[in-house]
Structure 1
């Protein structure tokens, strides 16, 4: 009688997503797309109702996004969307310029003609919306994000893309609000020029030139936000990071 053999090969366990993972992904997407307003107040109960789940998965998702800087948990346990003040936002944009310039430069090294055509099409869609007398700010923000990440995904640097996404979690709500304040055809001309130079550099398959053009595009976004004047309203409500040790220790007690 043949003896039964027992396999010693470990079974592969499929990647399972929890309810908290699902809530985190949805709320994170809202932040990256600028659907949520900077400084917007949130509650666990309201989010649980929105995502049709219990409070506990929402609590876990909020803690993760708080650690990434997208949400802020106040000492009294209230929750708000990150609203960086002038100095904090300027720092974040400087980080964006370094990370996204690197991603763009590496992406150009791997680009195929079909990739360039796709990026041209995204740029044209952004331009068609931007030249309207009253462009739709949410559409502009979405097209802007699609264009940027279409480039970054070609870089073959997934860890770098995660870092970039974490910065966008913190900056996109403010950028989208700035577009709402300034989204007129006249004010979008400089943004269009910057993107055209970026796409031209990509089409030329010039990595260093594309990196410089990407940095210029980010700087143009910074000027757009400066013109909107919205950052100054957050200066009085955003706690100083240097003096928030006690606050940070409390942020996980929701």
Structure 2
């Protein structure tokens, strides 16, 4: 993967925070795949920064289980078991359903216009003969968070973002080009029902439509066979270990602690 085509070189002084934000966007937007390997040096070169702020941002993502460090020191996007995926889906239905219901109660005309514009962009892309997979995934995220922001619950929004850090790469499989959910406009139909309920101030209807969207996507992903069988889950392997800093006494040691790929 050519990271330089997906990120913007960092120039501001809050380097670690900027690196974290861009990596988070890649994960939440489904721009990287489960099992995909990354390296600190590649990320640093793509962003135009030193390895230090990248290590700090990556350690934060490791603690949030959005990335994992394998026993061979390889940094990668985590895979997910069926039971983990179902658990996250149940949590998402509750948290994102709450945000959607609250949005239906509080959304004003400006908010409705923002949501409708995001919905229209997703719909236009999905109606193309060959929709762009990356655009669909990004536009889906844009629409969902346009809705959730209208709930005006910042702590709830942070919780939802934390879940999307872990679920984002998996959503590649829901909106990939050629899937029935894309060609039959299933997601767009769910979005249309959500927007109609929001416009009518129907909190229960909006939450129900959102649940249908999330569970429909989850069912497709489970049946697609792209998740790890629970019996094969490497649950005993710790995944949140921080990347060690360079050791001054051993100058021959690689500063980033990871193989360059």
TM-score bin (small chain): 0.7 to 0.9
Give the structure 2 partner of residue 148 of structure 1: 144
Deviations 1:125-182 (A, max 9, x none): 2122112232111111111111100011111100110110111111111112442264
Give the structure 1 partner of residue 234 of structure 2: 239
* 1:1-254 matches, cutoff 5 A: 18-180=14-176, 182-183=178-179, 187-232=183-228, 238-240=233-235, 243-244=236-237, 247-248=238-239, 251-254=241-244
SS at match of 2:76: strand
SS at match of 1:194: helix
Q: What is the RMSD computed on CA atoms of the aligned residues?
A: 2.2
> Cα distance 1:95–1:132, how it changes in 2: closer, same or farther (>3 A)?
same
Misfit runs of 4+, over 6 Å: none
Larger radius of gyration: 1
**Higher helix share goes to which structure?**
1
CA distance in 2, matches of 1:253, 1:117: 44
CA distance in 2, matches of 1:161, 1:120: 20
SS at match of 1:107: helix
> Cα distance 1:160–1:66, how it changes in 2: closer, same or farther (>3 A)?
same
In structure 1, the gaps of 5 or more residues are: 1-15
Deviation of 1:196 after TM superposition, in Å, equals 1.5
CA distance in 2, matches of 1:186, 1:138: 13
Taking structure 1 as the reference length, what is the TM-score of the superposition?
A: 0.83
